[in-house]
Amino acid sequence: MLTRFAPSPTGYLHLGHVVNAIHVWGIARARGARVLLRVEDHDRIRSRPEYERALLEDLDWLGFAPDAGRQPIVRQSDRDTIYAAALERLRRTHHVYACDCSRKTIGGERYAGRCRSRSLDESAPHTLRVQFDPGVERFTDSRLGDIVQNPSEQCGDLAIRDRDGQWTYQFAVVVDDIDQQITLVIRGEDLLSSTGRQIRLARMLGRTEPPRFLHHPLLVGPTGDKLSKSAADTGVRELRAAGVSAADVIGRAAAASRLIHAPCPIPAAEVARLFV
Ligand SMILES: [Zn+2]
């Protein structure tokens, strides 16, 4: 089994990332899976090399090490050829088209297919979409059980490249998971609604067996509410600068996501204990 830790270098490592790392490394160690690192910098405007350096440094300090090492670093910004090849593969068997609708015209999350009859005009700036036919996707989340989603109702025809020429998160992550042969995806509950559409897209790209999924709880405050943005955004380097140890940072994140009742120090090497 192969899983991945895939941060976006659009800011510093915070407690939300630590919760994800605890689940990724903890579950991987408990089940004998290996962990790959992937830098999800598909957003070329918000991603910065200094954030990437800081994320990797903070991850090292915490003690979470990818199994294959990190050289060369797998970065979405270096994988244009791989995404272009996947787009070609998709175009051979499915309807991919150019859409010039504005956000305002679409008016919500679901795109109803207004430009479906258009050809694939490569000359003008536009969003590339792939047609999603009606039908449900069923999958079993290792924590939440059986889930049914209907991508064509939820999001409609999926955007795979935006009008600035950037590959979308949904497309890049599916292509990467196929290319890196990821068989176990461990991520926060906030991404649960994306899973059906990603399974659909992966199948359209030729993946017969989808990865297994586990969506973990996000940070919660003492009253059980979702932790305030500022608390969830507490930077690992701020805590480190304040003299908090790596094991204490991991313990705080584990408590804030209800893996343990009260914070106590947990070294990175021992996170598997939380999942056995
Ligand atoms: Zn359109």
- Element housing 96 (H / E): strand 96-99
Task: Tell me the residue type at 4.
Answer: R
- CB-count burial class (<10 Å; 0-12, 13-18, 19+) for 4: buried
Tell how far the Cα of 154 is from the centroid of ligand 1, in angstroms. 16
Other Cβ atoms within 10 Å of 125 Cβ, number: 10
pLDDT score for 232: 63
d(CA 116, CA 131): 8
List the catalytic residue out of 229, 242, 243, 261. Answer: 229
Burial 162-185 (b: 16+ CB within 10 A, else e): beeebbbbbbbbbbbbbeeebebb
What's the CA-to-centroid distance between 113 and ligand 1, angstroms?
A: 6
Residues of the chain with pLDDT below 50 are none
DSSP bridge partners of 98: 128
- C-alpha 125/C-alpha 101 separation (Å) is 11
Element housing 159 (H / E):
strand 158-161
Question: 152 CA to middle of ligand 1, Å?
Answer: 15
pLDDT in the model for residue 185: 98
Q: How far is the CA of 53 from the centre of ligand 1 (A)?
A: 38
pLDDT of residue 157: 96
Q: Is pTM beyond 0.85 here?
A: yes
Position 227: which residue type? L
**Is the distance from CB of 112 to CB of 156 less than 8 angstroms?**
yes
A 10 A CB-CB count for 140 gives 11
Contact assessment for residue 11 and residue 51, using Cβ atoms and an 8 Å cutoff: yes
pLDDT of residue 222: 59
- Catalytic annotation present for 104: no
What's the 115 CA to ligand 1 centre distance in angstroms? 4
- Could you tell me the two tokens for 157? 């025809």
Ligand 1 center–CA 172 separation, angstroms = 21
Q: In the prediction, which pLDDT does 238 show?
A: 93
Comparing CA positions, the residue from 5, 12, 14, 8 lying closest to residue 169 is 8
